[in-house]
Structure 1
Amino acid sequence: MLNIYYGRENIDKDKFIFERVSGQTLLLVPDQFTLQAERNAFRYLEVKGLIDLEVISPSRLGLRILKEVGGEKISRLDKYGRHMLLSKIMGDKKNKLEVFKGMESKASFIELVNNLISEMKQYNTSPEDLPGIIDKLDSDSILYRKLKDMQAIYEQYEAVISEKYIDTEDYLEHCISKIKDSNKIKKSEIWVYGFDYFTPKNLDLIRELIAYAVNVNVVMTYSEAGRDDEVFSMTGSIIEKLEKLSEELSKPYHTEQIGDRNCIRAGIAAELAVVESELFSIPVRRWEKDASAITLVKAANPYAEAETAAAYITRLLREDGLRYKDIAVICNDLEVRGSIISRVFKEYGLNPFLDKKRSILHNPVISLNIYLMQLAMGRMDLETVMGFIKTGLAGLSQEDTEELENYAYKFKIRGNMWNREFSRGTKEYEEEQLAQINQARDFVIRTILAFTEPFKKAQTVSEKIQVLYYFLKDHLQLSERIEQLMKEQNEKGYYEMAFEMAQIWKVAIEIYDQLVTVMGDEKLEIAELETILRAGFESVEIGMLPATIDEIIVGTMQRTRTGQIKALVVLGANDGILPSAVSGDGILNDDEKLVLFHNCVEICKLDELRAMEEKLAMYRTLSKPEQYLFMSCSVSDNEGKELKPSVIFNKIAGIFPKLEIKKDIISESNPLYLLEAKANGIKHISEALRKDIDGEPLNDCFKAALYWYKANAQKTIRQVEEGLFFKIKENGISIAERLYKIEGNTVLSISPSRLEKYGRCPFAHFINYGLRPEEKRVFEIAGREMGDIYHLCLMRLSEHLTERSLPITDKNSKWMNITPQECAEFVSRFMDTEGAAYREGILSGGNEERYKAGRMKRVCTDAALILVEHVQKGKIQDIFFEAEFGKASKKHFPPIEVDTSQGKLLIEGKIDRVDILPGNYIKIIDYKSGSEKFDLEEAKGGWRLQLMLYLKAALGKTQRPERESEEIKPAGVFYFKLDEPTFNASELSGEQLEEKIKAEFRKSFKLDGILLDEPDVIESIAGEFTGSSDIVPVRKNKEGIVVGTSKDKLLTNDEFTELQLAVDGKIAELCEQLARGNTDIAPRKSGNETACKYCMYQSICKFDLAFEGCTYKVVK
């Protein structure tokens, strides 16, 4: 017989059921409700164990039946096995698909196909049914083409598993067919509870239970002929279907509203009873009295919302004596807000349990599997090998892992380099240290080969999975390592991580079993096997169980089933979140489902039905609390975008007109709320102290809390006070002394580039030269390496050509007689010898490096040819290369001394090239592989100082005795660019192209800077020329007078002197600020270029133009 009992949520249905349970009974509930149903059974039956009563889900019931009557040994394909099989099928059919073409490798799309096939099976739709359905559709429609693709996939899927395996849905059908043979069913009373909806497949199960069980009792949430009957329309439809089933079986049925007054929930706050009766009622009957049991909050953002809820829960625990288990938290947006809720609740000392399924892709065991597949494919790149090691399961210690990673990263170890003993780094690593790194390398390679060699020899999928399994189990001893990880996680309080780790090896084995079941005898390429295995892992989500009964459950309306609770906290009551927006990311959208429905075809669940499920879930959940209901929404999201309250939030506000909507506790700034928890209170005390410093006095509540912290948490409050009262400006001089001066030196010494960096941003200078974070230098050819080699090549060439006994441009000098071919040959020899030895052979590291080396040889050759040409056209007495200025007697020039209030400051460095011209004029050249341009205003403003600093140093008294008495005068300062010229040659050909190449070639190497407007100086540098000079930025006008190609390129003596004085003033100013320890966050800007553009420390200073007080100091 079938008995259908129904009632609203003001009825205690658990009590109704357990008061009537007797004899051998099966309580059939949804999978996610089994734990709570068992707890309810213990509570109402007041027993310590369940003997005649068994709480069971449909899937477990099927397994129980097959164990009794036989048939459980059949090869079963679960959701994950189907996901892997579909991955292979779609890969095989990728050229035959139309709408789904190009999607076959995307795990998320395979999941959608998987879900649709599952739903079609639940709705009893087979591949044979699809042609008839498709024929009714417009052949030009997207729906027609989608179903054609689905037909091809579904048919192939069924063909593969036919007579071999049985999937989850067919397994349930198989179980249903065996119910008639089950003595357990025939002797049992069946109670069905917790379902709002039954798929056709589940209805088939109920049908068989009605046919063969003693009695079937179905308890539903339903009410008829009320003002809110719309919310129960779905369950009303299910009741009708159940009654029809009973009629078809010629079995009696009885439908009854639960009217037992003993089962009416007692002790419910009056306001909460109104929520149950009025939430979805039309018209609404307002509650005109006070509603102290209900709290509505509009918070500034999700974080403030979570903190307000945490403070509210803390008060309930402290003042009302509630326990964690008495409180449930519901949030439909756990993917975004779950981490915020968890973090904030833990700050308040609360114990939340997030009731959601978790992906396993981040788990180290799963990562280990994927990396092993990639290694077997021959991928020995740095990321793959180190990824394998850093799972923590490869057997290498943490210390060895870090040392090996640093070495491998620094020297770009990849490919076969892993198989050879490491030899680079002899200057950076001691012999013993390098031996230790090689020992770690050897261990890793032996471990990898222990897997890859037998894995490659294995032929079938089954053999390969067997190799994988035994390698993990025996060689890596994975079970023992997992046990150790779990122990460490539990000791650190990471209980959920430990729970996940406890399941992961079992899950991996299940995936292996499914893979062998589906395609064990097939021979697949390793890449295809890796794709399928990854697809299997991507489809898995692990559910967690609370570690204890006394935890705060944090879940969603649909998934989370609570027992009796005294307080309900609902977060994220915003439009689109509560109720949840109906998902439109399935294979078929709602319009397409409706087209099928109107053609009398139901192959999957309608979105309208999902919305009805959500509404019923909201009604049921919001009716659960007995004493308190807290509901909040956010005014904006984490990015500041506006959010609107949900219709549910507004509906409750409308039902209770006297209910005041509150602000979050941070916006209200009520100390009593902000100081609810010790751990979190310190944050708000810090903020209050900061305001006190700014002139807003502490109120009495914060003062009392401060005294308490000083008495009970002295260390914590001391750290807060030290941080708040620390003033970088007040301690600037001591900072400069401690951080900038090298130990043992009383005089601060800096380089020109360092002073220039300070001029651009004092704070970036402080981080770089004060805190000195170490940047890993990778073993690769980048801008720094190219610059080093260019400089070294030009210096070696210049040294080779310079004879101190002859003036540079003497007709007998090597400079004047070297041919272009000889110049190119010298560069080639240099690149093959010194260049090849640079940084332990970095230029021959691989194909990429060899390509760059070839390009660098071209640039060096071109630069050398132009360099020689420039010298040959001018007049130069002497040249100094890499000319150093500093304290040591061997330096070419003395240091630049700057007097500051804190003592002398020295500027020391190295000048790429100093040319001595006739008349004792001096020319400075700085080789640059970038796109530096000299600008007069930038030099005066301290933005670009290096060239002028080099000039200042070279004009100082020389430390070479033979030149002490000579007066040296400035001729000019220049950048010499080292790079390949580029230009648009798309419309040029023949002679035009050749001429253009020559012109652009010389133009690209033209010196950029300023020079003295003196005919002898100009001739010494540029030589004889007509029109524009190929060497410096000057030209001859119609009158034959030399002028600059642009403003401020040609300076008179007075202008040059004025520039030097202005730069000297800026140098003195910057040196004074630096010596006094100024570390202001004050970046500068010149034109469109800012100091922040390539700064690595932006995440530290947080400089942002959007904030008040954040502005650039403009140079020009």
Structure 2
Amino acid sequence: MGFKIVAGRAKTGKSTYIYDEINKEISNGSKNNLLLVVPEQMTYQSEYEVIDRISSSGIMSLEVLSFKRLGYKVFEEVGGLKVQEINRYGKIMLLKKIFEENKDKLKLFKKASRQEGFLREFDSLISELKQNMVSEEFLEQILKHKVTENDNHLLNSKLEDILTIYSEINKHTKDRFFDEEDKINLFISAVAKSKFVRNSKIWIDGFESFNGQRLKLIKELVKYAVSVTVTLNIDPACINSLQSIDDWEAFKTVHETFKSLTDEDVSFEIEALNEHAFAEEIKIVEKSMFSLKDEKFSILTDKVQLRSSLNPYTETEKTALEIICLVRDQGYRWKDIGVAVGDMDTYSINVKKVFTQFEIPFFLDMKRDIMGNPLTKFILSLFDMFIYNFKHDSVFEFLKTGFSVLNYDEVSKLENFALQYGIEGEKWFRAFRFKCDGIEYFNSLREKFTSGMKEAKTQFKKLDNAMDITLFLFDFLDKFNVQEKIERQVNVFKKSNLYELSSENAQVWNYVVEILEQIILTGGNMEINPSDYRKMIEAGFREVKISIIPPTLDKVTVGETDKISVKSYKALFILGANEGKLDSRSSESGLLLNDEREILAASGMKAINNADYYMYREKHMLYKLFSSAGERLYLSYAMGTSEGKSLQPSMYTERLKSLFTGIKEKSDLSDTWELDNVSSVGGTVDTLVSKLRDFSESGEITDVWKNVYAWYEENDENTINIIKLGLLYENRAENINKENLEKIYQMPVTMSVSRLESFAACPFKFFMENIIKPQPRIVQKVEFYDIGNIYHQAVERFTNEIISSNIDIDTMDEEMARKISCVCTENILAEGEMDYIALDANERNKYMKEKIKRLVNRAADTIIKQLQRGSFRPKFTELSIGDKDGNIFVEPVEIKIDNDLSIYFQGRIDRVDTFEKEQKTYVNIIDYKSSYKDIDLSDAVQGLQLQLLVYMSAIMKNGEKLFASKPEIGGAYYFLIDDPLVDGDVVLESTPQDLIFNKLSLKGYVLEDSEIITGMDNEIGDKKASDIIPVTFNKDGSTSKSSKTLTDKEFKALLSKTDSVAKDIAGKILAGNIGINPYRKESGDKVPCSFCDFRGVCQFDPSSDKNSYRKIKKLKKDEIMLEIMKEGEPDEI
């Protein structure tokens, strides 16, 4: 019953020592069972090492096992597994059930089980307690007698909840099934009965620490096996006194393990190994990196390198270049190289992209979750369909998994149809009766999809226990031939050499079946509704992490630091050596905070792990990581994220610079050796493009890149052509030629003024909106512009009702106005029933319907009050400019571009009010808006806001026949349809209604004429400031500077100017200008790109020197009018 501990630092040959002993046993014809026990995650790697190191004749004499697999061998021999096993997925789902059943008993964790990751953390805590043999009774005693002395109420409440759940777990599992920890206890008990163990020589390799259960198991194996040998990665010099070495912190965890293994009266032998198999520079890193002494070495070397990069992407690129150099110039194999990353979430994306581009074969050693897998989505969306009555998202999540009866093309078309017509819920089970093309086709798709679904839905509602729900789910998986479809897909992936996808999908089916079997095991007869069942299986799915075995051996291995540290590589790259990434510096773990763990440890729970344990464990892991390099070590960090946020280097980068005084930190900005950037065909392209771009600006390029360019010209003409196109590309849209213009614009050309404004914002936007006219997917939902249209129509109809009925505005009261407006709104909604069907789709939209009525009522009330305060009266609504379909219209505005070409502007004016004075008809034009808008003269003279002014010009030029006398300018305004809020806490003289009335005042410009002003607001003289129009009087009776007024001459000059601007824009449109040329105001960040639907088409990039905004100034009223008046007398208006 010999017990040997093989102690040695990294690379001292501990595993080699074991393999030599095994080979010796085989050579001597040993009759014992030879067992090599390694961590679960190392079994695959160890089996390959066995093939390399053990003689082929004796390889069958050795078994490579994990503790778990060794346990199964013992159980096969002696029995003991009398109940069924519950795995971690089953435990998570059991915990979900227990938390739901006991939530009323809990103090802190009532709702915690609903939080993602909580059940995993709780399961880990229970496992930790069991692994360290902390029983329910012991925990109860701790709670009663020890922790209360610390008066820590939070910890007391937490422990009470833990004890409640711990007790319930034991009740649910007792004599029914066992978990991994229970199995180890059974294994410990079975060792003494096992002849297999008594005839075994056991070597335990690759572990740094053992929990309480494992320690007890090893001691049992020592007691009954022929011999047990354990390797420990520790300096033999610190066995008896830890702090006798300078880097003792790196070995504290292992030293504790050594003490635990030898703390009883057990005789043992120590084999101390001291010979290192490192390059000299790596030996310095291994020996001194974690030393507390300030050691310095003046050695000059390229075997240890340090690099800083701008961001993780460029860091990954530089790593790829170094790897290629090692393989190409130093004769390395891909498998000789390991890449450890400090942040897998960030670097995995970069590695996939960069290594693929650089043609580096790699294996990403990371576990994949299955939440995004089609099978998982199929199951969860199936439940969602039945639970939420076939809502759109759940239906198409289900159909898009690839397991439904519809193919991809059919699903895509059906989804567009369903979005357009609002198909969800019970509508799926009724024939579609819409008047549209292809209705029979869509009905056939509906029937294929819903076949058997209605009956299944009825059955689903009756399900009330876990067994029946699970069987229901299995029936569906069988009905849709899911397993067969997965097998077919796995074969497709294999044939396409997509081995990782093949392996992942092959495993998912087994995991899902395992989870469903665990549900039946842990609570087959459990009463549960389908909604809670779905939550339970989702919790199980979230726990699944799939490991992939590398399909070929000769690949660069990329993994997290703890994964890479278990194997040796000739060259090791450590990426992401940033603070908080390489060294996490965590002080807390799981549900118990570090302070709480300290209290529990002081109360007798010595085995509970605290922050010091995790700190020293991490330090040992990093020691192993830095020691994994055999010949070369590359450490790199990013100075910032890809988004520009700064990052700090890890303390280990400074430690490396401190050790090697001659080391020069490389940087992306300081690289000068050109050949370093010449790698693979794909990997060199980006750098070549950068050098050629520099050449186009400076005229300078080195011979290296001339030769690289020549190589591509000779060997890869396609790439060179793409590069040339890219370098010459200026992201410019060429003018439309005359031939195509004639096809686009039919003579005579008519156009709305809003199109001119669109062109002024960006010619390319105009081109896309009005010529290309791409159509978005039609979705039945209430859009903002739908609501705006309803507002417009209802308010216009209200005004038209007043005009056509000759209602005396002066005698109208609020009640009468609201009655008329309500009827108008109801009629608009009824007439547009199909257009506005989405307003009845859900409760939110029904609320919007009521809001529409409320806002229209408010608008009607405001309009009447504004009119009652003045002399202007509504004359026309929806007055057409250019459209001669009706009896009342204004002739279109003709703008002559040249002698042979004219353009006509047309549109509709929401409302025209008039006021008769001295044989003149003064005209106001009013445009309704559902969001705030005011006339900005600076925008107007630069083409961005022409509409109201061009409309006014049209009436002045062509509208005389509509009025009793020649029309004169009165004003141009926007009217806001809104129901604004006011601050009810503010004490003011005005009432809330007065404040609202003021907020809804007209925005625009009024004629500088006292009679016109009082004609708009006859109370302004008393108040000095109008709450209808933007006018304030000074004490002397003149209008204030802030008033928005224009004299008749100024108004006419402004209209002449905007007509000229419209002409200029029209000329550019008819010249075929479609340039990618958006504006940007100098005074702010406003750009049309912010709300443009075509940003992805034009690819305008303001950071590129090939693209730039068209800057426009913010002009003041005085300078605008001064400039306009300088231009001379306006045209006849």
Judge same fold: TM > 0.5, yes or no. yes
Please name the residue that 1:1053 is paired with: 1048
Work out whether 1:604 is the aligned partner of 2:608: yes
Work out whether 1:342 is the aligned partner of 2:347: no
* Matched-pair contact (CA < 8 Å) for 2:312–2:576: yes
Which of 377, 388, 398 does residue 378 from structure 1 map onto? 388
Q: 1:162-173 to 2 correspondence within 5 Å?
A: 162-173=174-185
The Cα shift of 1:477 comes to 1.2
In the TM superposition, what whole-angstrom CA distance separates every residue of 1:144-202 from its partner, at most 9, and x where no partner exists?
33222211221121122112111110111112212223232222211111111111111
Which of 850, 853, 873 does residue 849 from structure 2 map onto? 853
Which of 257, 260, 269 does residue 279 from structure 2 map onto? 269
CA distance in structure 2 between the partners assigned to 1:111 and 1:326 by the alignment = 36
Please name the residue that 1:33 is paired with: 42
Indicate how the Cα distance of structure 1 residues 895 and 77 shifts in structure 2: closer, same or farther if over 3 A, else same: same
In the TM superposition, what whole-angstrom CA distance separates every residue of 1:993-1023 from its partner, at most 9, and x where no partner exists?
9x753x4565465433223244675577668
The Cα shift of 1:329 comes to 1.1
In the TM superposition, what whole-angstrom CA distance separates every residue of 1:679-735 from its partner, at most 9, and x where no partner exists?
232222222232233335332222222232233333333233223323355x54348
Which of 270, 273, 293 does residue 255 from structure 1 map onto? 270
The Cα shift of 1:746 comes to 7.2
Please name the residue that 2:1121 is paired with: none
Work out whether 1:624 is the aligned partner of 2:628: yes
Indicate how the Cα distance of structure 1 residues 169 and 773 shifts in structure 2: closer, same or farther if over 3 A, else same: farther
Which of 711, 714, 731 does residue 714 from structure 2 map onto? 711
Moved more, 880-889 or 25-34: 880-889
In the TM superposition, what whole-angstrom CA distance separates every residue of 1:853-907 from its partner, at most 9, and x where no partner exists?
2332343345446556767864669525241337999973224426389975554
Q: 1:390-789 to 2 correspondence within 5 Å?
A: 390-424=400-434, 426=435, 429-430=436-437, 432=438, 434-446=439-451, 448-449=453-454, 451-472=456-477, 474-490=478-494, 494-560=498-564, 563-582=567-586, 584-664=588-668, 668=671, 670-728=673-731, 732-734=734-736, 743=744, 745=746, 750-761=751-762, 765=766, 768-769=769-770, 772-789=773-790
The Cα shift of 1:357 comes to 1.9
CA distance in structure 1 between the partners assigned to 2:617 and 2:782 by the alignment = 61
SS at structure 1 position matched to 2:113? coil
Indicate how the Cα distance of structure 1 residues 896 and 1089 shifts in structure 2: closer, same or farther if over 3 A, else same: farther
The Cα shift of 1:406 comes to 2.2
In structure 1, give the amino acid aligned to 2:660: F
In structure 1, give the amino acid aligned to 2:852: M
SS at structure 1 position matched to 2:909? strand
Work out whether 1:83 is the aligned partner of 2:92: yes
Indicate how the Cα distance of structure 1 residues 66 and 928 shifts in structure 2: closer, same or farther if over 3 A, else same: same
TM-score normalised by structure 2 residue count: 0.87
Q: 1:103-502 to 2 correspondence within 5 Å?
A: 103-134=112-143, 135-137=145-147, 138-225=150-237, 226-245=245-264, 247-248=265-266, 252-258=267-273, 268-281=278-291, 283=293, 286-424=296-434, 426=435, 429-430=436-437, 432=438, 434-446=439-451, 448-449=453-454, 451-472=456-477, 474-490=478-494, 494-502=498-506
% identical equivalent positions: 26
Please name the residue that 2:948 is paired with: 947
In the TM superposition, what whole-angstrom CA distance separates every residue of 1:254-311 from its partner, at most 9, and x where no partner exists?
222247xxxx566x43322333333334546654333232222122221121111111
In structure 1, give the amino acid aligned to 2:786: E
* Matched-pair contact (CA < 8 Å) for 1:732–1:1079: no
Query: Gaps spanning 5+ residues in structure 1: where?
Result: none
Work out whether 1:881 is the aligned partner of 2:878: yes
SS at structure 2 position matched to 1:559? helix
The Cα shift of 1:460 comes to 1.7
Indicate how the Cα distance of structure 1 residues 500 and 338 shifts in structure 2: closer, same or farther if over 3 A, else same: same
SS at structure 2 position matched to 1:217? strand
Indicate how the Cα distance of structure 1 residues 67 and 954 shifts in structure 2: closer, same or farther if over 3 A, else same: farther
The Cα shift of 1:652 comes to 3.0
SS at structure 2 position matched to 1:297? strand
Indicate how the Cα distance of structure 1 residues 937 and 570 shifts in structure 2: closer, same or farther if over 3 A, else same: closer
In structure 2, give the amino acid aligned to 1:238: T
* Matched-pair contact (CA < 8 Å) for 1:300–1:667: no
The Cα shift of 1:1054 comes to 1.4
Work out whether 1:1083 is the aligned partner of 2:1092: no
SS at structure 2 position matched to 1:553? strand
* Matched-pair contact (CA < 8 Å) for 1:761–1:1084: no
* Matched-pair contact (CA < 8 Å) for 1:36–1:561: no
In structure 2, give the amino acid aligned to 1:319: D
The Cα shift of 1:126 comes to 0.9
* Matched-pair contact (CA < 8 Å) for 2:236–2:273: no
In structure 1, give the amino acid aligned to 2:70: L
In structure 1, give the amino acid aligned to 2:331: G
Aligned positions, number: 1084
In structure 1, give the amino acid aligned to 2:907: G
Moved more, 912-921 or 388-397: 912-921
In structure 1, give the amino acid aligned to 2:602: H
CA distance in structure 1 between the partners assigned to 2:58 and 2:802 by the alignment = 99
* Matched-pair contact (CA < 8 Å) for 2:1080–2:1109: no
In the TM superposition, what whole-angstrom CA distance separates every residue of 1:828-863 from its partner, at most 9, and x where no partner exists?
454444422414452443433333323323433454
In the TM superposition, what whole-angstrom CA distance separates every residue of 1:800-827 from its partner, at most 9, and x where no partner exists?
6666xxxx9xxx7898999987765655
In the TM superposition, what whole-angstrom CA distance separates every residue of 1:295-339 from its partner, at most 9, and x where no partner exists?
221222211211111110011111222222111111232133222
In the TM superposition, what whole-angstrom CA distance separates every residue of 1:2-32 from its partner, at most 9, and x where no partner exists?
1222223232333322222134311100011
* Matched-pair contact (CA < 8 Å) for 2:568–2:629: yes
Please name the residue that 2:907 is paired with: 909
SS at structure 2 position matched to 1:1010? strand
The Cα shift of 1:103 comes to 1.8
CA distance in structure 1 between the partners assigned to 2:1010 and 2:88 by the alignment = 87
Indicate how the Cα distance of structure 1 residues 130 and 1105 shifts in structure 2: closer, same or farther if over 3 A, else same: farther
CA distance in structure 2 between the partners assigned to 1:205 and 1:910 by the alignment = 89
CA distance in structure 1 between the partners assigned to 2:850 and 2:779 by the alignment = 20
The Cα shift of 1:404 comes to 2.3
Indicate how the Cα distance of structure 1 residues 456 and 180 shifts in structure 2: closer, same or farther if over 3 A, else same: farther
In structure 2, give the amino acid aligned to 1:47: S
The Cα shift of 1:374 comes to 2.4
CA RMSD in angstroms comes to: 3.8
Moved more, 139-148 or 765-774: 765-774
* Matched-pair contact (CA < 8 Å) for 2:913–2:923: yes
CA distance in structure 1 between the partners assigned to 2:334 and 2:1019 by the alignment = 92
Query: Gaps spanning 5+ residues in structure 2: where?
Result: 238-244, 1116-1133
Please name the residue that 2:242 is paired with: none
TM-score normalised by structure 1 residue count: 0.88
CA distance in structure 1 between the partners assigned to 2:901 and 2:689 by the alignment = 39
SS at structure 2 position matched to 1:558? helix
* Matched-pair contact (CA < 8 Å) for 2:1026–2:1032: no
The Cα shift of 1:40 comes to 0.5
SS at structure 1 position matched to 2:698? coil
SS at structure 2 position matched to 1:329? strand
